[in-house]
Chains A and B, each alone.
Chain A
Amino acid sequence: MGKHPIRVLIAKLGLDGHDRGAKIIARSLRDAGMEVVYTGLRQTPAMIAEAALHEDVNVVGISILSGAHNTLLPTLMDKLREQNLAHIPVIVGGIVPDCDVNTLMDAGVSAVFGPGTLTSDIVTSIANVIESDLQD
Chain B
Amino acid sequence: MSLAKKIISGDRRALARVLTLVENGDAHSKDILAELHPYGGKAHFVGVTGAPGVGKSSLVNFLAQSLRVLGDTVGVLAVDPSSPFGSGAILGDRVRMADLTGDDGIYIRSMASRGAVGGLAYATGAAADVLDAAGFNYVIIETVGVGQSGVEISNHVHTTIVLVASGAGDDVQAIKSGILETADILVVNKADLPGAEHVLADMRSNVVMNPSPAPSDHHAKSKQFDGSDLAWRVPLLSTVARSGDGVDLLIKSLLQHWEYLENSAEIDNRRRTRIRAILESLLRNRLYTRFMEDISRKQFDALLESIVLRDIDPYSAAARLIEEKYKASCLDKA
A55 at the interface (CB under 8 A from B): yes
* Residues of chain A lying within 8 A (CB to CB) of residue B23: 4
Say whether A30 contacts B17, CB under 8 Å.
Answer: no
Which of B12, B26, B95 contacts A1 (CB under 8 A)?
B26
CA A54 – CA B97 in complex, angstroms? Answer: 13
- Pick the interface stretch among B108-116, B276-284, B297-305: B108-116
C-alpha gap A54/B131 in the complex (Å): 12
Residue B37, interface by CB 8 Å: no
B89 within 8 A of A: yes
The secondary-structure label for the interface of chain B is mixed
Give Cα A17 to B301, complex, Å: 55
Given A30-B89, A54-B109, A56-B20, A40 contacting B101 (CB threshold 8 A): no
Question: In the bound complex, do residue A54 and residue B88 qualify as a contact, i.e. CB atoms below 8 Å apart?
Answer: no
A88 CA / B29 CA spacing, docked (Å): 22
| Chain B residues within 8 Å of chain A by Cβ, number | 32
Quick check: which of A31-39, A68-76, A107-115 contacts chain B, the rest being far away?
A31-39
User: What is the bound-complex CA distance between A123 and B26, given in angstroms?
Assistant: 26
Q: Which residues of B contact A50 (CB under 8 A)?
A: 101-102
B87 at the interface (CB under 8 A from A): yes
- The verdict on A83 contacting chain B, using a C-beta distance below 8 Å, is yes
| CB of A122, distance to nearest CB on chain B (Å) | 15
Which residues does chain A contribute within 8 Å of B249, judged by CB atoms? Answer: none
Least CB distance from B136 to A in Å reads 13
Taking a contact as CB atoms under 8 Å apart, the answer to whether A4 and B92 are in contact is no
> How far does the alpha carbon of A33 sit from the alpha carbon of B86 in the complex, in Å?
6
- The residue that A5 contacts in the complex, of B25, B92, B95, B112, with Cβ under 8 A, is B112
Give the chain B neighbours of A38 by CB distance below 8 A: 90-92, 94-95
Taking residues whose C-beta sits less than 8 angstroms from the other chain, chain A's interface range is 20 to 34
A40-52 Cβ-contact flags toward B at 8 Å (1 or 0) = 1011001100110
Contact A40 B94 (CB under 8 A): yes
State the majority secondary structure of interface residues on A: mixed
Please tell me if the beta carbons of B13 and A40 are within 8 angstroms of each other in the complex.
no
Q: Mark A1-13, 1 if CB is under 8 A from B, else 0.
A: 1101101000000
A83–B91 touching, CB < 8 Å: no
- Residues of A with C-beta under 8 A to B92: 38, 40
> In the complex, how many angstroms separate the beta carbon of A80 from the nearest chain B beta carbon?
12
Are B102 and A46 within 8 A (Cβ)? yes
Interface residues of A in 54-73 (CB under 8 A from B): 54-56
B89 pairs with A35, CB closer than 8 A? yes
Q: Is B122 located at the chain interface by the 8 A CB criterion?
A: no
Give the residues in chain B near A1, CB-CB below 8 Å.
24, 26-27
A77 to B94, CA, bound (A): 21
Q: Which residues of B contact A81 (CB under 8 A)?
A: none
Interface contact B83-A31, CB-CB below 8 Å? yes
Residues of A near B95 (CB, < 8 A) are 38-40
> Which residues of B come within 8 Å of A, CB atoms?
12-13, 16-17, 19-20, 23-27, 82-83, 85-92, 94-95, 98, 101-102, 107-110, 112, 114
Q: Can you list 23 contacts pairing A with B, beta carbon distance less than 8 Å?
A: A5-B89, A5-B112, A7-B20, A30-B89, A32-B88, A33-B87, A34-B88, A37-B91, A38-B95, A39-B94, A40-B94, A46-B101, A47-B98, A51-B101, A53-B13, A54-B16, A54-B108, A54-B109, A55-B16, A55-B110, A56-B16, A56-B19, A56-B20
Q: Which 6 A-B pairs have the closest CB atoms?
A: A40-B95, A30-B88, A56-B16, A4-B24, A33-B87, A56-B20
